[in-house]
Structure 1
Amino acid sequence: MKPSVQGFGEKIFEEVLALRRHFHQYPELSGEEFETANKVKETLEAYGIPYTDGYAKTGVLGVIEGGKPGKTVALRADMDALPIEEQNDHPYVSKVKGKMHACGHDAHTAMLLGAGKLLNDRKEDLPGKVLLVFQPSEEFTPRGGAEPMMEDGVFREHEPDAIFAQHVWPDLPVGQIGTMGGSMMGASDRFKVIIEGAGGHASMPHQTVDAIIVANSVISSLQTIVSRNVNPIHSAVLTIGKIEGGSRYNVIADKVVLEGTIRTYTQETKNVVKERFHDIVYGVSKTMGAHATIQYFDGYPATVNTPHWAEHVKKTARQLYGDKAAPDVEPCLGGEDFSRFLLKYPGAYFWLGTAVPGVEKQNPLHDPKFKMDPKALSYGTELMAQVAIDALFELKDKKITVNLRAE
C-alpha cells in the first residue's frame, strides 16, 4: 500500500521549527553556507540518511533508498540568505549583522530535512529512491547554484525522473499551495550601464556633456520598450533599481552608472527586449554626445513546470488538505534558480502559503521585516514528502518516463 504522511508533519513540527529557527539565527550568504551544510549533514546522520557533499562547494545530496525497485524523485531546498539587516523583534532574529533569511530558505531547508525524516521512516514501502537536494547560492544570480551542482555531478549516480521544489509565499494563506503548468516564474536578467560624458562647472553647461541628462533620456526611452515593442498579451518588466552619478551640486556630472533588471517569460520576448535595450542605450547616448558601456548578465531562465507534474502537486495537496488547497494562481516574474533543474528534468515548482493571520498587508519576500506563520512548516514538510511518495508510485504504476519534459 502507498504510505501516507498526513498528520505526521504536526508530529515532528517542534523538530522542524527548531531547525528553521537555528538556520534563521545563523544565516550565510551565497557560497558561504558551510555551517548550514554542516547542520544539514549532522541532521541527516541523525536520521540515518546517507549523503554526499561538496557540490558547488557547500551543496549536499541525501539519498533515501526505497525497499522496492522503482524510479527516482528529487526534492530540492535552497540554503542561502540575503545581505539584509533584519528588523524583526522575535526571539530568534538573525545573530549575524547584515545577513538575514528574508526569502524563507531557512524554512525550505528545515522542511526538506523534516520531509526526509518522514520518507526515511517509510523507506521500506517506497518503490524507488528519493534524493534530498540541498542547494547553495540560489540568490547568486546569474550563476546560481543549480548548474554548478549538476556540473559537479550531483545527479551522476542517481538521476531523477522528476524533481520538485517549494517556496514560502506570503500571498497565500497557510494550508494553500500555488502552482501551474508552464511558465511559473520569469527569466531574470541583470544589467549595468555606464554613461560617460564630459564634466564641468554648473554655470557653463555648453562646455560639457551632462551624463545625468543623458541618463535621464536613456531611462525615459527604455520605458517605451515594454509599452511599444512587446506584444501586449505577453509580459515583460524593465526596472532601473540603482543610479549613481555626480559629485557636487555645482559640478556637471561626467559619469552616471545605472543598474537594473529585465524580467520576461518567453525567450522570444526576452530577445526583443534585450535587443531594443542595447539599441536605445547606445543610440540615445551617442545622439547626445556621450559614450555608453553595457554589462548585460543573462540570468536564470523562466521556471517552466511540466504540466503533468504541476497537476500532480495540486492533486496531492487536495488529497491532504481539501479541495480549496490548490487554488488557481497567476505566475510571477520573480527569478528562480530551480529553473535550471527544470531545463534538464521534468518536475514542478510550487508556492507554499505562509501568510501571517490577522495581518492585512504581508511583508513581502526580501523585506527586512519578512515573517511567516510557523504553522506552514507542518504543511510544507508533509506536502514535500507526500508529493515524492505519490510520484514514485505513479512512475511505477504508469511507467511515466523523463520524456514528460517535452510537454
Structure 2
Amino acid sequence: MTIYERVKEVRRALHEQPELGGEEWETSKRIQDELTNAGIPFKTGFAKTGVLGIIEGGSEGGTVALRADIDALPILEKTDVEFKSKVDGKMHACGHDAHTAMLLGTAFKLQEKKSEFPGRVLLVFQPNEETSPIGGARPMMEDGVFDEYKPDVIFGQHVWPSLPVGQIGVRDKEMMGASDTLSFTIKGVGGHASMPHLGKDAVVVTAEFISALQSIVSRNVNPLESAVITIGTINGGYRYNVIADQVELKGTVRTYSQEAKKTVKQRMENLVKGFETAYEVEIDFKYVDGYDATINTPEWAKLVRETAAETLGGESIPEVEPSMAGEDFSRFLKEIPGAFYWLGCAREGVDIQKALHDPEFYFNEDAIKVGVDTMTNVTLSALQKLTAVDS
C-alpha cells in the first residue's frame, strides 16, 4: 500500500466517525496509533485531545510546524459516498478529516527522509477549530505545545472547493477574515395588535435597526477596506395579533483590518444608544471577539508559492482573493511567522461546487497526492531556508 492509499484509507475512516470539537477522543487515538506505527514520537494532553508529533532530522537546523485541524461539524451529511458519516447529525463538512490524513501522510514521507534533512518538524493536530471564540490553537499553546520546541515557522493547509485539483491558493498577507459574533436583545413594551400606541413594538424597531446596521459598512467603513455584517437569526413575538415586547438578534462581523473592526464596533454602540433614545426601548448589545484575521508572513507565503510551482507547475498557482471565513490558524500566526494556503479539491464535471460547511460538501480525493506532496516539499524548502539563514 502506498502512502497516498494509506492516507485515503485513514481519511475515509475518520469521515465515517466524525467527532465535534472537544470530543475528538477516538480521532486523537487514531492519530496516535498511526504515529506509533510509523515510529514517530509524540506528546498528548494539549487542549484535551490535541497531539504533537515530533520528527528529528539528521542534523542541526530550524524547526518547522505543520498544523491540521481534527474536529467535525454538527451537520447531517447528505452526500452519497459509500463512507458517509455513521454518526447522526455530525459530519466532516469542512475537510478536517482530509487535513488530518494528509498531515499524517506528510509525516510518513518526512519520517522516511529524516536522515536527509536538517532541523525538526512538529506535527500539530489541533482540536476544536470550529468552536469560535474558544478554538483549539490558543488552548494548545497555553498547554505548552511549543514550550520545548518553538517553531521558526508554521504552515497550515486547507481544502478549497472553488479551486480545481492541482491548484494551490496563497496570498502574501490577508487569507481569511476575523470572525466576531454579536447579539442584540431589543426590549420594548407588548400589547394588543389593535392598540399599537400603547406599546413599543420591538418588531418594528428591529426592522429599522437591521437596515441601519447595514449602513455601517456602506457609509462608515473605508471603501478600500472590507467588512461584512450579517444577522443570521431573529427570534421574537408570540402571536399574529400581539405586539412583540422583545426580539433577539444574533449575527457575525467579518473584517481584515483592526481599523475596520474598530469602526464597525463603535458605530454599533452609537446605533444602540440612538435607537434606545429614538424609540424609547432598551437594547442589550454584546460583541464577542472571535478569531483574528489570518494574515500570512510574506516571505513564507512566497516560499509556498515557489515550492508549489516547482511541485505542480507555474500555472497551478492562480491569483486568489481572500475569504471572509474565519480560521483558528490565525492565532498561531499571531505568535509565529508562517503561511496558510488553500488546496484545490473541486469535484470534476460539476459546475456548482458545494461549499465548505454544506451537508453535501464533497472532497475530491484526487487532491490527496497534491496535498501530501505540497506540504512535504514546503516543509523541506522551509528547513533548507532556515539552515541557510543560520549558516
Q: TM-score range by the shorter chain?
A: over 0.9
- What secondary structure sits across from 2:304 in the alignment? helix
Letter in 2 for 1:176: Q
What percent of counterpart residues are identical? 56
Q: Secondary structure at the match of 1:217?
A: helix
Partner of 1:242: 233
2:350 is matched with 359
CA distance in 1, matches of 2:300, 2:261: 26
Distance across 2 between alignment mates of 1:127 and 1:282: 59
**Pairing of 1:17-96 with structure 2 (within 5 A):** 17-96=8-87
- In the TM superposition, 1:161-310 aligns within 5 A as 161-310=152-301
Task: Give distance in 2, aligned partners of 1:286 and 1:30.
Answer: 42
Residues 19-66 of structure 1: per-residue CA shift (max 9 Å, x gap): 111111111111111111011001110111000011011110000011
Cα RMSD of the aligned pairs, angstroms, is: 1.1
For structure 1, the residue ranges without an aligned partner over 5 or more in a row are 1-9, 401-407
SS at match of 2:203: helix
**1:334 shift after superposition:** 0.9
Does 2:151 correspond to 1:151?
no
SS at match of 1:101: coil
1:13 is matched with 4
SS of 2:353's equivalent in the other structure is coil
Instruction: Please give the TM-score of this superposition, normalised by the length of structure 2.
Output: 0.98
Deviations 1:108-164 (A, max 9, x none): 000000000000011011100000000011111011110110000000001100000
Measure the CA separation in 2 of the matches of 1:163 and 1:287.
51
Question: How much has 1:399 moved relative to structure 2?
Answer: 2.8
State the distance in 2 between where 1:278 and 1:79 align: 37
Give, in whole Å, the separation in 2 of the partners of 1:322 and 1:170.
Answer: 20
1:324 partner amino acid: E
Deviation, 1:254, is 0.9
Q: CA deviation at 1:286?
A: 3.3
SS at 1:198 equivalent? coil
- Structure 1 residue 252: deviation in Å? 1.1
Q: Note the C-alpha offset of 1:385.
A: 1.2
Name the CA distance, whole Å, in 2 between partners of 1:174 and 1:27: 24
Aligned equivalents of 2:304 and 2:366: distance in 1?
20
- 2:363 alignment partner in structure 1: 372
- 2:308 match: 317
Count of equivalent residues? 391
Instruction: State the distance in 1 between where 2:354 and 2:175 align.
Output: 21
Paired letter, 1:362: Q
Aligned mates of 1:208, 1:98 — CA distance in 2: 42
Provide the residue aligned with 1:404 in structure 2: none
| CA distance in structure 2 between the aligned counterparts of 1:28 and 1:279, rounded to whole angstroms | 41
**How far apart, CA to CA, are the structure 2 residues paired with 1:282 and 1:250?**
29
Q: In structure 2, what is the equivalent of residue 97 of structure 1?
A: 88
Distance 2:226 2:138 in 1: 26
Maintained 8 Å contact 1:201/1:252:
yes
Deviation by residue 1:53-111 (Cα, 9 ceiling, x = unmatched): 11011110000011111010000000111111111111111111111111100100000
Contact 2:3–2:108 under 8 Å retained in 1: no
Distance of 2:390 and 2:279 partners within structure 1: 63
Alpha-carbon contact 2:75-2:359 (below 8 Å) kept: yes
Tell whether the 8 Å contact from 1:214 to 1:285 is kept in structure 2 after alignment: no
Q: Distance in 2 between matches of 1:233 and 1:222?
A: 19
Q: Secondary structure at the match of 1:122?
A: helix
* SS of structure 2 residue aligned to 1:241: strand
Alpha-carbon offset, residue 207 of structure 1: 1.2
SS in 2 for 1:369: coil
How far apart, in 2, do the equivalents of 1:252 and 1:95 lie? Answer: 45
1:178 Cα deviation (Å)? 0.3
C-alpha deviation, 1:279, in angstroms: 1.4
Q: Is the 8 A contact 2:55 2:120 kept in 1?
A: yes
Q: Which residue of 2 aligns with 1:391?
A: 382
Matched residues in 2 for 1:12 and 1:137: separation?
Answer: 27
Normalising to structure 1: TM-score of the pair?
0.95
Identify the residue that residue 121 of structure 2 maps to in structure 1. Answer: 130
| 1:107 matches 2:130 | no
Task: After the TM superposition, list the runs of 4 or more consecutive aligned residues in structure 1 that deviate by more than 2 angstroms.
Answer: none
Instruction: Assess if the C-alpha contact under 8 Å between 1:20 and 1:107 holds in 2.
Output: yes
Kindly state the Cα deviation for residue 285 of structure 1 after the two structures are TM-superposed: 3.4
| Equivalence for 1:5 | none
